[in-house]
Amino acid sequence: MTTRRVNLNTESVDNYLKAIFNLGGPGEERVTSTALAERLGVAPASITNMLQKLAASPSPLVDYERRRGVRLSAAGRRRALEVVRHHRLLEAFLYEILDYPIEEVHDEAERLEHFISERFEERIAAKLCHPNFDPHGHCIPALDGKMSKEISRPLTDIEESGNFVVDSVSDHDAHLLKQLKAHGFIPGARFKVVRRSREEFVLRAGSSPKALRLSHPLAGAVRIRPAD
């Protein structure tokens, strides 16, 4: 039986690699097919089929085991980092130069990231003075793939009161991002945790005398670091 060769130079492949990269986190943990299906909005059977193809390519892009999940190979990580760099540079360009609202830049960058040339990428980076972070606070990979080590943690992990800084916010849900923006929770914003419970976090942003209440879903979209 002849093995059919699969074209792996597609937008779909790049979206899979980027999703695995983002879900795996800085520790490059294995990602379950269920988590990948939820992130991409694809049926589990289709996820399994694609992962098998990516693992069986001449230069495998992933390490996939059905019951253990998937993680990127060295080749897959290089390709994922290139797509992530395109995406985050585009987000910064749309936000800083074209004045897109922060809640709109992710979807626009999703549409453009597969089609920009390396020359265009270089021009964007130069125009922005080679930024290290996108508007959501996420690190932009360098040309050699290096990234700053992440030292932040989810707001939902905080159990003590204290002063903190918003390190980054999720770009996966535009509606959620718009709510966070309305509450003043953008990267670099300083805030104090006044109280927390199972249902919500009570916070005070900056010098505002008014307390803000964030539900756990909203709080889960924010990563923070201690204030200096």
* Residue 85 falls inside a structural domain: no
Q: Among residues 72, 96, 119, which one ends one of the domains?
A: 72
Is the pLDDT at 3 greater than 50, yes or no? no
> Residue 214, CB half-sphere, CA atoms under 13 Å: how many?
28
State the maximum Cα–Cα separation within the chain, in Å, rounded to a whole number.
Answer: 72
Beta bridge partners of 166: 224
Q: What is the pTM of this model?
A: 0.86
Do 188 and 227 meet the contact criterion of CB atoms below 8 Å apart?
no
Q: What is the CATH number of the domain that holds 204?
A: 2.30.30.90
Structure tokens at 118: 């390396």
State the sign of the Cα–Cα–Cα–Cα dihedral 134, 218, 173, 23: positive
Other beta carbons within 10 Å of 148: 12
* Residue 222 falls inside a structural domain: yes
Range(s) of the domain holding residue 18 = 11-72
Structure tokens at 44: 């589990």
* Residue 39 falls inside a structural domain: yes
Chain mean pLDDT for the chain = 88
Do 126 and 110 meet the contact criterion of CB atoms below 8 Å apart?
no
Q: Among residues 47, 72, 97, which one ends one of the domains?
A: 72
In the chain, the percentage of residues whose pLDDT exceeds 90 is: 54
Is the pLDDT at 98 greater than 60, yes or no? yes
Is the pLDDT at 50 greater than 90, yes or no? yes
Is the pLDDT at 91 greater than 90, yes or no? yes
* Residue 57 falls inside a structural domain: yes
* Residue 55 falls inside a structural domain: yes
What are the pLDDT digits (tens) for 54-72? 999 888 999 998 889 999 9
Identify the pLDDT of residue 5. Answer: 45
Q: Among residues 32, 50, 72, which one ends one of the domains?
A: 72
DSSP E strand stretches across 55-177: 62-65, 69-72, 153-154, 162-169
What are the pLDDT digits (tens) for 26-42? 778 999 999 999 999 99
Do 208 and 146 meet the contact criterion of CB atoms below 8 Å apart?
no
* CA dist., res. 76 & res. 82, Å (int): 10
Beta bridge partners of 63: 71
Is the pLDDT at 171 greater than 60, yes or no? yes
Nearest to 172 by CA among 79, 86, 87: 87
* Residue 205 falls inside a structural domain: yes
Write down the residue that tokens 């360009």 correspond to.
93
* CA dist., res. 15 & res. 210, Å (int): 41
* Residue 107 falls inside a structural domain: no
* Residue 146 falls inside a structural domain: no
* CA dist., res. 19 & res. 83, Å (int): 11
Do 136 and 170 meet the contact criterion of CB atoms below 8 Å apart?
yes
Average pLDDT over residues 170-198: 85
> Given pLDDT bands bounded at 50, 70 and 90, which one contains residue 2?
very low
Domain count of the fold of the chain: 2
Q: What is the CATH number of the domain that holds 26?
A: 1.10.10.10
